[in-house]
Amino acid sequence: MIWELIRSNVYVVKRPIAIAPSVLPADFSRLGEECIALEKAGVDRIQFDVMDGVFVPNLTFGPDVIKSIRPLVKVPFEAHLMVVEPDNLIDRYIDAGCEIVIVHAEACLHLHRTLKYIADAGAVPGVALNPHTPPELINEVKDLLGLALVMTVNPGFGGQKYISSMEPKIKHVAEMLDGLDCDIEVDGGIGIETVSGAVQAGANVLVSGSALYKDPKGLENAVKELRSKAEASQS
């Protein structure tokens, strides 16, 4: 493992960079083909932003949609549950083929129990923090986590501007989780212009949507350039 001094007497393990595109900008009428194209472009996992129109002002993917796509690609699927009652949906998204399930700390009355339930059901448990949510909130459940997601936009819509003031928060989360087998994910406004700050703060899983799909040279080039910039930022 590679170790880096982040500040006096604090060392954080550098975990491998992973590119996890959101399919929000994809053509929903060709979602299976879009996921196949992402896998061919070299992504490490695919994120499905699950929205209920209540926790966030948008509606997206039900588990049946994801289940229909699961046989088409081999990369892991990640369900980011932006919903008010995630406990009612966890089993359905795991059954649909999502290996990683992320719940929002703000939506879970009993976060410890929810994360343990995800793990016991055979998926990787993750917790997401909205921009206003203090990072200390996850300290009491950190031993249960396989992933911590720091939102770098307010969730609900793609194409938003990266909130750079979240970088100290990413750094704080990385320090809290040092020594644990836990990825640090960032989601929102991640692209070539913003990825360095997020990675230098401690993120290793990069959710990118609009920036990948807008690359005039195509998805493969976009994934390659984003990974290259991220890995260079780790060194």
Question: Which residues belong to the active site?
Answer: 49, 187
Nearest Cα to Cα of residue 10 among 167, 148, 177: 177
Q: How many CB atoms lie within 10 A of CB 32?
A: 14
- CA Rg, the chain, in Å? 16
Q: Which helix (H) or strand (E) holds 184?
A: strand 183-187
Strands 10-14 and 2-7: antiparallel
**CB 59 within 8 Å of CB 84:** no
Cα-Cα-Cα-Cα torsion 207, 178, 201, 144, nearest 10 degrees, comes to: 30
Q: Which two tokens stand for residue 128?
A: 């997401």
- Exposure string of 74-100, with b = 16+ CB inside 10 Å and e = fewer, is ebbbbbbbbbeebbebbebbbebbbeb
